[in-house]
Amino acid sequence: MTDPQGLGRSPRFAQIASFARLPQSQDLSAAKGVFLGIPWDDATSFRSGAREGPSAIRNNSRLVRSYNMFAKVYPFRVLNIVDWGDIDPVPGFLEDTFQRIEAGLTPIFKAGVVPFVAGGDHSITLPILRAQKAATGKSVSLLHFDAHFDTWEAYWQTKRYTHGTWVKRAYEEGLLTKGNVFQVGIRSPLYDAQDVPNNAAIVHRTYTTEDVDANGYAPIMDQVVSEIRDDPVYVSLDIDVLDPAFAPGTGTPEPGGLSSRELIHFLRELYRLSVVGFDVVEVAPQYDHMGQVTALTAANALFEGMSAVARRRSTSR
């Protein structure tokens, strides 16, 4: 049973910063969840810097504590979460890095352990989904929080593997269940009017920020839950779904996003879904000029994801 080390004894700013100061281990025999980092940002299209995301999230996660009173759960204890460490990328070499990510994640999915991943730019989700399929032989539903579609065909005319193309690639590769791809928080300006129908050909439901304003999180999550039901679902959280006022530390910020509180409300509903993997990507702390608020929020988003999975496991259903 894991818990933050030295809680109550050692000040939260002391000691080596594993995620929430959980034990560091790659032993999957007892864990039901692991935290891991993927410090990679060579597939970004605007401001790079997400390679510093995992270390900044770990640093700020030291403030996270053991008990979630809203989920009524001790997520670290229920899931026996450890800090697995980082996947070593090969800076500048996307194919090699994707292979390392897939190779690193496959045994985790195979063991039925839920990975909680800190990116890294959003391209990392593609090899994570490849690992999921390789381990289980099955596609997954996708719940995708983002300001951007990420369903574009290519960047720089011919480059098909970037942080803005991974949803389309994952769909084409059969990693995602048809009709079970959902997006929340979309709002960015587009390259072309045709981007909207192109996205709709892949994504079953796209909830823009206007939809969030009109409905609030509860009916949106009701609909998502009623359609995904008990299918395994992967949750991918691009931190730029938040307004830059709440999360300036990211590569492609878009005004008019969710507040941190709105996002946490969405995440607290995830216990109603069968979440098999969760990532928080695009945290670039170099632009996080306000007391590392983006990395701190990402750490808390991971805590909420862990809490939701733990709540579902600890409640008889």
How near is the Cβ of 147 to Mn ion at its closest, in Å? 5
User: Binding to Mn ion by residue 150, rule CB under 5 A?
Assistant: yes
CB nearer to Mn ion: pick between 238 and 243: 238
Of 28-36, 99-107, 132-140, 150-158, the window that binds Mn ion (rule: CB under 5 A) is 150-158
- Residue (of 107, 144, 148, 119) closest to 42 by Cα position: 119
- Out of 3, 146, 279, 288, point to the residue binding Mn ion (CB under 5 A): 146
Given CA atoms 145, 73, 294, 154 in this order, what sign does their dihedral have?
Answer: negative
Q: Give the span between the Cα atoms of 245 and 21, in whole angstroms.
A: 28
Q: Give the span between the Cα atoms of 229 and 139, in whole angstroms.
A: 15
CB nearer to Mn ion: pick between 83 and 282: 282
User: Binding to Mn ion by residue 243, rule CB under 5 A?
Assistant: no
- Residue (of 313, 311, 292, 282) closest to 49 by Cα position: 282
To which residue do tokens 């409640």 refer?
A: 315
- Residue (of 185, 225, 228, 179) closest to 207 by Cα position: 185
User: Binding to Mn ion by residue 147, rule CB under 5 A?
Assistant: yes
Given CA atoms 22, 23, 29, 35 in this order, what sign does their dihedral have?
Answer: positive
Distance, first Cα to last Cα, the chain: 23
Of 43-51, 117-125, 126-134, 189-197, the window that binds Mn ion (rule: CB under 5 A) is 117-125
How near is the Cβ of 164 to Mn ion at its closest, in Å? 7
Of 43-51, 70-78, 199-207, 240-248, the window that binds Mn ion (rule: CB under 5 A) is 240-248
Token pair listed for 137: 């032989």
- Out of 21, 51, 100, 122, point to the residue binding Mn ion (CB under 5 A): 122
Contact 270, 71 (CB under 8 A): no
CB nearer to Mn ion: pick between 83 and 238: 238
Of 36-44, 59-67, 120-128, 297-305, the window that binds Mn ion (rule: CB under 5 A) is 120-128
How near is the Cβ of 208 to Mn ion at its closest, in Å? 13
Q: Give the span between the Cα atoms of 137 and 285, in whole angstroms.
A: 36
245 phi and psi angles, rounded to 5 deg = -65, -30
Q: Give the span between the Cα atoms of 105 and 133, in whole angstroms.
A: 11
How near is the Cβ of 279 to Mn ion at its closest, in Å? 10
* Residues binding Mn ion: number (CB under 5 A): 7
Contact 206, 200 (CB under 8 A): yes
User: Binding to Mn ion by residue 58, rule CB under 5 A?
Assistant: no
User: Binding to Mn ion by residue 117, rule CB under 5 A?
Assistant: no
Residues that bind Mn ion (CB under 5 A): 122, 146-148, 150, 238, 240
